[in-house]
Structure 1
Amino acid sequence: MKAAVLGTGVMGAGMARSLLRGGVEVTVWNRTPERARPLAADGARVAPSAAEAVRDADAVLIALYDADAVLAVLGDALAASPEDTVWVQTATVGPEGTRMAAELAAGAGRTLVEAMLLGTRQPAETGRLTLLTAGDPAVFARIEPLTAAISVKTVWAGPEVGAGTALKLACNAWIASITAAAAQSLALAGALGLDPKLFLTAIEGAPADCGYAHAKGEGMLAGSYEPQFALDAALKDVDLIDGAARGAGVDTTLLAALRGLYGQASAAGHGREDLAAVYTSFGGPGGTGS
């Protein structure tokens, strides 16, 4: 199978390497060419344009940052791909961005499905992502070598493109919430005169335990925010979640609080660090962005 990966940030580069290990022929492209070139050492072909990258692809993974980037690349490259190429939308772009992407693909006579990514840098690099998929199951059967190479679990959200995005927003609301909640509890424990790590010790193995709290909490306590899921990307997603919630009539009080906390950390210079840097909004150590 031949695959193109459009976008070689944290997730795109990780998936490209997992595909190569899985025996898939991979062509990569990135708007900033310097970010794609290192993948040549792993065996990928680096294309000079998105259109060139997809020219003989069986499947295309879209791993770009936001809706504007996705729609621009679709407009440039859809027609350059073979008619039977499967376009796999993995970027978190919200319901409206997803609708527009699906319409562009349909207008070009191309098949687009969703495989939204649940996981960060390490699962992407090791082929252990969870995929939140939507679209025709028969289409996914055609690209099974690709999905098998990048994931350990698939949750099918439904036959309509957009269902994967809806599930991804619900999952990212949870991730943003528990990361901020862990930061609050660690900060509170410390402010009350305790070793903050006692919080993580107390919940360990209990019904309220959460592996994510430990993974992010350790980094918070060390003031180490190496990006696995960049804070600005989480902030972008909180805005998308807020818009979707308002449209569906769901209360956004908690989302407003999250927007404020992540926005404060971003304004303080932590946007490119891991979302665990939300701890700085509670007075936690500043990491490399301060």
Structure 2
Amino acid sequence: MADNNNSHAPSVAVLGTGIMGAAMARNLARAGLDVRAWNRTRAKAEPLAADGARITDTPAEAVDGADVVLTMLLDGPAVLDALRQAAPRLAPGTLWLQMSTVGPEALVPLARFAAEHDLRFVDAPVVGTKAPAEKGELTILAAGPQELRERAGRVFDIVGSRTQWVGEDGTGGAASRLKLVVNTWVLTVISGTGEALALAEGLGVDPRDFLATVAGGALDMPYLRMKAEMILSGDFPASFTVSAARKDVRLITEAAGAAGVRVDLVAGAAERFRRAEEQGHGDEDGSAAYYASFDG
């Protein structure tokens, strides 16, 4: 995470201060940027005032005079709604860093909005959850013109540790498509971890024997360890919630269908997240989908 603490630091409007957006806004404010933060539920944004962010009541108030608008909201419709509310005070030429996971289909109306309002658009979904976001260690998957990359980098270098540029056209969907590929793997690991530990319980196998068996080998990975520990402890602090995972499964399924690709593992994950959400685990970490392996 870089430090941009100087008089020429850009002003940034952060629209969406949930798990990820709050961490990103906090890091930007601590780095010396002029941060204005808006969230539909104001109470979720208010703690950022302690770090120097200005909390606003409306998206329009947040973007008024901002050099950069950063969106980190649940999905494409939520992003578009916030930008429409902000439209009266969006200045032509404002840099829009669209960092939500929206999928290629929902990107189309966002790109249209950017063109209609003469905004400089960069599609930049992120890889990482709560802890990397808090540490400024996200991986940013970005697509946008060369002439915008230095401006975008002043923000990306604060909220992330690495930016992977994957295209010149932010409206073309290259970054959003890559994000869905990455999340397909993420959701597969979450589901596989939950099912393996559930089967261990059902068969009377100590789950830690399973973890010891794969330890240090090709089948081991830090993400397996992190999710397994949540399941074993029964504590599921949200970093990537069951409900958010279910939304991403829908985006993956839609994109795969449009491309003529069958994603059977994703279909299985979709059912697990659906059941877990119905069991009341929607706001817990995605690893709580473990409970979908059991009735009740």
Q: TM-score, normalised by structure 2?
A: 0.93
Match of 2:72 in 1: 63
Structure 2 stretches lacking a partner, 5+ long: 1-9
User: Distance between the aligned counterparts of 1:137 and 1:183, measured in 2?
Assistant: 42
Check the 8 A contact 2:241/2:283 in 1, yes or no. Answer: yes
Q: Which of 119, 122, 125 is matched with 1:116 structurally?
A: 125
Q: Which of 8, 25, 33 is matched with 1:16 structurally?
A: 25
Code of the aligned partner of 1:49: T
User: Distance between the aligned counterparts of 1:278 and 1:137, measured in 2?
Assistant: 41
Check the 8 A contact 1:79/1:108 in 2, yes or no. Answer: no
Match of 1:216 in 2: 227
Code of the aligned partner of 1:169: L
Task: Please state how far the C-alpha of 1:71 moved relative to its aligned partner.
Answer: 1.0
- More deviation in 3-12 or 253-262? 253-262
Match of 2:260 in 1: 249
Check the 8 A contact 1:182/1:213 in 2, yes or no. Answer: yes
Code of the aligned partner of 2:214: I
Mapping of residues 97-116 of structure 1, within 5 Å: 97-116=106-125
Provide the secondary structure at the position in 2 that maps to 1:182: helix
1:239 matched to 2:250? The reply is yes
Match of 2:213 in 1: 202
User: Distance between the aligned counterparts of 1:137 and 1:213, measured in 2?
Assistant: 37
Match of 2:44 in 1: 35
User: Distance between the aligned counterparts of 1:267 and 1:157, measured in 2?
Assistant: 37
Provide the secondary structure at the position in 1 that maps to 2:100: coil
Code of the aligned partner of 1:262: F
User: Distance between the aligned counterparts of 1:201 and 1:21, measured in 2?
Assistant: 41
Task: Please state how far the C-alpha of 1:137 moved relative to its aligned partner.
Answer: 2.7
Match of 2:282 in 1: 271
Provide the secondary structure at the position in 2 that maps to 1:254: helix
Question: Post-superposition, which runs of at least 4 consecutive aligned residues in structure 1 deviate over 3 A?
Answer: none
User: Distance between the aligned counterparts of 1:72 and 1:128, measured in 2?
Assistant: 29
Code of the aligned partner of 2:290: Y
Provide the secondary structure at the position in 2 that maps to 1:92: coil
Check the 8 A contact 1:78/1:110 in 2, yes or no. Answer: no
Structure 1 stretches lacking a partner, 5+ long: 285-289
Code of the aligned partner of 1:255: V
Task: Please state how far the C-alpha of 1:79 moved relative to its aligned partner.
Answer: 4.5
Check the 8 A contact 1:26/1:45 in 2, yes or no. Answer: yes
Check the 8 A contact 2:30/2:52 in 1, yes or no. Answer: no
Q: Which of 172, 179, 185 is matched with 2:190 structurally?
A: 179
User: Distance between the aligned counterparts of 1:193 and 1:97, measured in 2?
Assistant: 45
Task: Please state how far the C-alpha of 1:108 moved relative to its aligned partner.
Answer: 1.0
User: Distance between the aligned counterparts of 1:80 and 1:220, measured in 2?
Assistant: 46
Check the 8 A contact 2:125/2:141 in 1, yes or no. Answer: yes
Code of the aligned partner of 1:58: D
Q: Which of 202, 207, 212 is matched with 1:191 structurally?
A: 202
Match of 1:287 in 2: none
Task: Please state how far the C-alpha of 1:37 moved relative to its aligned partner.
Answer: 1.2
Check the 8 A contact 1:130/1:151 in 2, yes or no. Answer: yes
How many residue pairs get aligned? The number is 285
Task: Please state how far the C-alpha of 1:283 moved relative to its aligned partner.
Answer: 3.4
Q: TM-score, normalised by structure 1?
A: 0.95
